[in-house]
Amino acid sequence: MKVSLLDDEVLRHLPQPSSTNTCTCAVGACTAWESITEDRWPAAQMQALGTLRDPDIYEPTFEEHHPSGTRYDSADAPVSAKHFPYNRCDVFRCGPCGRVLMCYTEFGGYYVDHRVRELRASLVVNPASADSE
């Protein structure tokens, strides 16, 4: 099965749930990047929408995009598909609430850390105007 490659334009236009939708899944609020164990990921209720990982790029950049002084763990950090960690994400929709979630796995010398963040379309930036910092 082929996975759709998504970009900033597609992310910006993905339907967002109404503010009245609530989700009781184990993922939680995840307004900023949060660690999640595999047993907390509700795979049965998640619909894969695509990936931000460009298959033509062997090693995506670790450069982040924070033009307003945000940090990786800021809830208001911009989302740029060409920058870390978004360039390593798969994108899902939660069936019960309709939230769009971005997920990637952080690998270190002695650990594997699955991370998830809810997509807020208002934070998506255009990669053509996103300069690495």
As a whole number of angstroms, the distance between CA 88 and CA 74 comes to: 18
Instruction: Classify 103 as helix, strand or coil.
Output: strand
Specify if 30 maps to a domain: yes
Instruction: Give the range of the structural domain holding residue 48, as residue numbers without chain letter.
Output: 8-16+24-123
Angle (nearest 5°) at CA 1 between 111 and 123: 60
Q: How remote is the C-alpha of 42 from its chain's centroid? A: 16
Report how many domains make up the chain.
Answer: 1
pTM of the model: 0.88
For 27, counting Cβ atoms within 10 Å of its Cβ (0-12 exposed, 13-18 middle, 19+ buried), the class is: buried
pLDDT in tens, 69-78: 899 989 999 9
Specify if 69 maps to a domain: yes
Specify if 133 maps to a domain: no
Specify if 132 maps to a domain: no
Tens of pLDDT along the chain (133 residues) come to 567 999 999 999 998 876 656 677 778 889 999 999 888 899 999 999 999 999 999 999 999 999 888 999 899 999 999 999 999 999 999 988 889 999 999 887 788 899 999 999 999 997 565 444 4
Specify if 45 maps to a domain: yes
Peptide bond into 85 cis (omega under 30): yes
Helix H or strand E segment including 47: strand 46-51
Specify if 41 maps to a domain: yes
Where b means 16+ CB within 10 Å and e means fewer, 95-133 reads eebebbbbbbeeeeeeeeeebbbbbeeebbbebeebeee
Specify if 131 maps to a domain: no
Specify if 54 maps to a domain: yes
